[in-house]
Amino acid sequence: MIVEYFSVEGKYHENEDRLAVRNMGKSGAVAVLADGMGGLSLGDMAAEVVTNNVAEYISHNYQGHNERNILQKSLAHADKELRNVSMKYKSNMGAAVAAVIVLGHCLFCTWQGNVRVYVRHGNKTTLITEDHIAHIGYGRYALTRCIKGASLRDDIPFVCHKLNAGDMVFLCSDGFYNVAEDSMTNISVEEIKKKIGTPEDDASLIKISYDREETEQVISIKACSDNK
């Protein structure tokens, strides 16, 4: 299994995307990507709090089973920690997030907001998450769910997706998929990064290449250069 990622700043604003990847050895890998909410304050800090707390909670508590429970608890933990940070800075903060565990032949996924997870099998790329957004008029959209330090709804989404050798998993923020959804193929992450150049909005991608049939995989994590 090879995990590659990058995050690039948009033209007009500071990068408010954050990502975290954890190698769990024989247990697999964890990947988390968060996008700080526009219109709220300290989006970069919100995204960092969320990604770090989700990733750390999973890596410290996951025992190789009950993935739905551990993923959902990780979001609740991040929500609680973000509430503490929001109170400390007296700021209204929030972030969209997606988190995955890859274990054996399975991808386990949860999310809040519009960070997306795709799976590519052969020549077909499938979106396995559903955006939590609502149209608010004049071509504008707002998140209907996020991590905001205000507790979460009970029906936190969860997906279990079977993986086959050669499959690829993509986690990406809207700044990426709005301009480069067609780039989620077998080209390298370095090539994808060069292709998008400097986008209008922050653009972040985590690519997981599932290249083995064995349950116990060798996991390699690679960051593209010049990540921000």
Strand, coil or helix: 24: coil
| Dist. CA 188–CA 101, nearest whole Å | 22
| Dist. CA 189–CA 224, nearest whole Å | 7
Find the mean pLDDT for residues 145-160.
94
Q: Is the pLDDT score of 167 beyond 70?
A: yes
Q: What pLDDT, in 10s, does the model give residues 190-228?
A: 999 998 988 889 999 999 998 765 545 566 878 775 554
Cβ neighbours for 156, distance < 8 A, ≥ 6 positions apart = 71, 72, 75, 110, 112
Structure pTM?
0.93
Find the mean pLDDT for residues 74-98.
95
Structural domains in the chain plus CATH codes: 2-223 (3.60.40.10)
